[in-house]
Amino acid sequence: MKTFDIETQTDTLNEFSFAGNQLERAKAHDCVRVFRFRDVRGNVSALPKYIMSAIRAAGYTAHYLGGTTYSYSVIGLAVTTPDDERCA
């Protein structure tokens, strides 16, 4: 079974190398961690279940921040708030 470790497989905003306006998007969504994954075409729901489960279990919500067409997506993680519908 595959696993995803938030602490080792994601970076803080200071550690990650952003392109374009990805950092501004991360700050707009209050993201605290970020990682690069295969192209999900802007749809974080397309992330594999084991990754989404790890994100939710760690108390985060995923946000699409950008990426390159057909290559990778940049996903930001924000601390989950009680009114966030995506963590249900």
pLDDT score recorded for residue 70: 82
pLDDT score recorded for residue 83: 63
Q: Which domain holds residue 62?
A: 6-82
In a domain, 35, yes or no: yes
- Per DSSP, the residues of 34-88 read EEEEE--TT-GGGS-HHHHHHHHHTTEEEEEEEEETTTEEEEEEEE--TT-GGG-
How many structural domains is the chain composed of? 1
Distance CA 50, CA 62 (A): 13
pLDDT score recorded for residue 45: 95
In a domain, 78, yes or no: yes
In a domain, 1, yes or no: no
**pLDDT tens track for 26-85:** 999 999 999 999 999 999 999 999 999 999 999 999 999 999 878 999 999 999 977 655
Q: pTM higher than 0.75, yes or no?
A: yes
Residues whose CB is less than 8 angstroms from the CB of residue 25 and which lie 6 or more positions away in sequence, other chains included:
63, 65, 66, 76
In a domain, 41, yes or no: yes
In a domain, 27, yes or no: yes
